[in-house]
Amino acid sequence: LRGRCLGRGAAVDPARDTFGAMTGLYGAIQPADSVSLSTRTHGAVFNLEYSPDGSVLTVACEQTEVLLFDPISSKHIKTLSEAHEDCVNNIRFLDNRLFATCSDDTTIALWDLRKLNTKVCTLHGHTSWVKNIEYDTNTRLLVTSGFDGNVIIWDTNRCTEDGCPHKKFFHTRFLMRMRLTPDCSKMLISTSSGYLLILHDLDLNKSLEVGSYPILRARRTTSSSDITSSGSSGPRAVGSPCHQNNSGPLSEKTLSRPSQREGGSPRNSLEVLTPEVPGERDRGNCITSLQLHPKGWATLLRCSSNTDDQEWTCVYEFQEGAPVRPVSPRCSLRLTHCIEEANVGRGYIKELCFSPDGRMISSPHGFGIRLLGFDAHCSELVDCLPREASPLREIRSLYSHNDVVLTTKFSPTHCQIASGCLSGRVSLYQPKF
């Protein structure tokens, strides 16, 4: 029964054995098996995204362009030469044909693979660089975040050529990344000042105003002290493209704790954490990259120190259940695994990712990528949870770039990994048969 609750039973997850075999193949990947796709004229590669069926690889470029490739044949399909008026930061597929892009020009664009000559529509609502896109497949709501500190909800059910109805859902200072858990029950928001915000029992139909959060639980991930009473370093300005925004801070009113609604926990209850980072107990840190385990078991963070002299990849397990003491709120995250990174390309965000089965992590590491596992056998996280934080195990290192790697992505359907670097080159890695 416990296995089924974790989604490990054959009746719950029939693809588990298939992904288990695929995970074994990743260990056979060699750097010589990479296929380089020349994108040097398009600027740095900021984001890579596969379509859900793995048939298309999209590339978000610094110089206003989006590239599309066939990942199986490594052939170029299409270049959207003026996708935006500024850097393209993130791409998100809504289904196998529709995808969204966001840019430093403050807009989001919707595209249809069947008709790429024109945009489906352009969405206006942010006032600064838009950095992140999420999508709730159940409600068909698009969720975006930007350096204006806003999280905005877009109703794609009522989309027209002029755009989609939208509303501001949430606002916080120094917002960097925003993610939804796979079941859309939680929203996680990372900040450049080292805070991680978690909205529990998520309701995207209800906008949140400062001071209206049902609960605020603020503490360090492994400490009993609240961040409201502990000393914390101030926010910092980091190099492009991680810039500090000018949004207003969280209000003192957010420290109030209204009573819960009758019949269950309140919707959109807010928890504020300062995740523990090795060696960073006395210094601030910036959470530059935020990803979630495909089964919602854990969150994956890329953190850099306040002085930019260290960089870490950390895995935090979600801990569910009631608080041990009502007066001292439960911390929802526990640091389980971590590893120090190369710390090159300072000031740039390095986007890392989980494999489709959640057993491996692909992490930018200098001029290449590292494949990391929770143990040497690439076991599932729930099978190798340590009592104390343990180092991630390096399964294989792959180096085929001549510049700093900024992003990497696993194919959702094939044994393939893509990576993109600062000089604009995309590499594909796959085993040789």
DSSP string, 360-385: EEEEEETTEEEEEESSTT---GGGS-
Give pLDDT, residue 3: 67
CA 331 to chain centre: 21
| pLDDT above 80 for 166 | yes
Q: Give a yes or no: residue 259 inside a domain.
A: no
Task: Name the strands in the sheet holding 88-93, side by side, starting at the edge strand that comes first in the sequence.
Answer: 88-93, 98-103, 107-112, 121-124
- Amino acid making up residue 230: S
CB 185 within 8 A of CB 177: no
| Cα-Cα-Cα-Cα dihedral sign, residues 383, 384, 387, 388 | negative
Give the separation between CA 360 and CA 373, rounded to whole angstroms: 5
What three-state secondary structure class fits 115?
strand
Q: How confident is the model at residue 32 (pLDDT cuts 50, 70, 90)?
A: low
SS3 label, residue 56: coil
Question: SS3 breakdown of the chain: % helix, strand, coil, rounded to 5?
Answer: 5, 40, 50
Of 357, 351, 348, 250, the closest CA to residue 300 belongs to: 351
Greater confidence, 29 or 388? 388
Task: Record the pTM.
Answer: 0.82
Check if the beta carbon of residue 358 is closer than 8 Å to that of residue 351.
no
Q: For residue 302, give the nearest of 346, 332, 338 by alpha carbon.
A: 338
Please list, in sequence order, all residues whose beta carbon lies within 8 angstroms of the beta carbon of residue 306, skipping any fewer than 6 positions away: 194, 233, 236, 283, 284, 285, 286
For position 431, what pLDDT does the model report? 81
Amino acid at 241: P
Residue 226 falls within a domain, yes or no?
no
Q: What is the pLDDT of residues 43-83, one digit of tens each?
A: 899 999 999 999 999 999 998 899 999 998 888 889 998 88
Q: How many domains does the chain have?
A: 1
User: What pLDDT is recorded for position 26?
Assistant: 74
- Residue 11 domain flag: no
In the numeric block, which tokens belong to residue 241? 């493209």
Q: What percent of the chain has pLDDT over 90?
A: 46
Amino acid identity of residue 59, one-letter, is V
Residue 425's domain spans which residues? 25-36+43-219+268-431
- CATH number, position 333: 2.130.10.10
CA distance 60 to 289: 16
State pLDDT tens for residues 409-426.
999 998 899 999 998 999
Q: What is the pLDDT of residue 226?
A: 34
Burial 370-396 (b: 16+ CB within 10 A, else e): bbbbbbeebebbbebeeeebbebbebb
Let me know if residue 16 belongs to a domain: no
